[in-house]
């Protein structure tokens, strides 16, 4: 089921962040990954891995995932198929 697959990936990402294993995190993120934090700062894949995994600026003790719901959207002509 798709929700289980998404949960596994999110949990693997959380685990990589908690353990601060940059190689594991890099393997999970798309090359074009972009993250914008609550303060509006944007990070590309390398910047995200450095800030949230390598540098020690942010250290996660745990991450919890709850109430995960996944909705598949229709494939549109301009959107790549899944």
pLDDT tens, 12-41?
Answer: 999 999 999 999 999 999 999 999 999 999
Q: With respect to residue 78, please indicate whether it lies within any of the assigned structural domains.
A: no
Q: With respect to residue 69, please indicate whether it lies within any of the assigned structural domains.
A: no
User: Does residue 72 register a pLDDT over 90?
Assistant: no
User: Does residue 80 register a pLDDT over 80?
Assistant: no
For residue 54, which phi and psi values (nearest 5 degrees)? -95, -50
**Distance set, CA 67 to CA 4, 16, 30, 51 (Å):** 12, 21, 24, 27
Q: With respect to residue 74, please indicate whether it lies within any of the assigned structural domains.
A: no
* pTM for the full predicted model: 0.79
Cα–Cα nearest to 22, from 49, 44, 45: 49
Cα dihedral sign, 40-57-8-69:
negative
Average pLDDT, the chain: 92
Q: With respect to residue 6, please indicate whether it lies within any of the assigned structural domains.
A: yes
Q: With respect to residue 70, please indicate whether it lies within any of the assigned structural domains.
A: no
């Amino acid at each position: 089921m798709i929700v289980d697959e998404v949960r596994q990936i999110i949990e693997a990402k959380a685990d990589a962040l908690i353990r601060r294993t940059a190689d594991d995190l890099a393997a999970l993120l798309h090359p074009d990954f972009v993250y914008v934090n609550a303060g509006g700062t944007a990070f590309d894949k390398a910047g995200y891995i450095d800030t949230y995994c390598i540098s020690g600026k942010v250290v996660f003790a745990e991450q919890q995932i709850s109430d995960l719901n996944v909705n598949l959207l229709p494939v549109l002509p301009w959107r790549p198929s899944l």
